[in-house]
Amino acid sequence: QVQLVESGGGLVQPGGSLRLSCVGSGSILSGYVMGWYRQAPGKQRELVADLTSRGYTNYADSVKGRFTISRDNAKNTVYLQMNGLKPEDTAVYYCNARWGATGYWGQGTQVTVSS
């Protein structure tokens, strides 16, 4: 069983930056595909970025060039660096760990971009 805990969300002005962290326990995350998803009010949860165990990354078109996903296997942690934030990035951000057909979710962290 994998437990994931996100942190780093908050209120930021447009153009600002945040770094989200996702710490895993119960299993070593280095072999998992790690992803960040987000869900805005009234919308479906969507993939923001994911990162394979071999280091391949995939980003939603809306965040390419602004967000960066990375992992620190020694700390069993995955990060999402978010720069150039826009109001439309406002959402609850969730960490996901996937191994084959099995996936685990964190509880989410709120990101609000507003002036």
Residue pair 72/23 in contact (Cβ under 8 Å)? The answer is no
Look at residue 9 and tell me whether its pLDDT is greater than 90.
yes
The 10s digit of each residue's pLDDT in 83-106 is 999 999 999 999 999 998 999 999
Q: Are 36 and 90 in contact (CB under 8 A)?
A: no
pLDDT in tens, 30-41: 889 999 999 999
Q: Which amino acid is at 58?
A: N
pLDDT at 5: 96
Q: Is the pLDDT of residue 28 over 90?
A: no
Q: Which pLDDT value is given to residue 30?
A: 83
State the chain's mean pLDDT as an integer. Answer: 95
